[in-house]
Amino acid sequence: MSIVVYQYSKCGTCKKARQFLEEAGVDFKSKDIVTNPPSKVLLAKAYRLSGLPIKKLFNTSGQSYRDGGFKDKLPKMTDDQALTALAADGKLIKRPLVLGDGFALVGFQEDEWRKALGV
């Protein structure tokens, strides 16, 4: 199984997720979500595969979300506009974000990760 984990090194949740993957023996490629955010195309794929509402892809507790006024903007945005905003600022993206073969995981929920990764 080939997975890519978009994470931020200073994020406590990302550290827990990384530790989980390492302890489970899952092979993964790590990418810094801030310096190397996923493209709009990859975010659209993650959105589709996750089955989540677009708002769930946003890091609603982050500084970029607050500073950008997304609490008020997001309900009026199209999915395309939201994906463009996410691709432009990795700190807007809920993390960690995992892209695998036929699935995407947003945030770290251990039970969901175990099921998706078969561990």
Q: Taking the CB of residue 19, how many other CB atoms lie within 10 A of it?
A: 10
Give me 15's structure tokens: 């550290």
Known catalytic membership, residue 11: yes
The H-or-E segment that residue 99 falls in is strand 97-100
* Catalytic site residue from 6, 7, 8, 11: 11
Among the listed residues 105, 97, 93, 35, the one whose alpha carbon sits nearest the alpha carbon of residue 61: 93
The residue among 74, 6, 15 whose CA lies nearest residue 42 is: 6
- Residue 28 phi, psi dihedral angles, 5° rounding: -150, 160
Cite the active site residues: 11
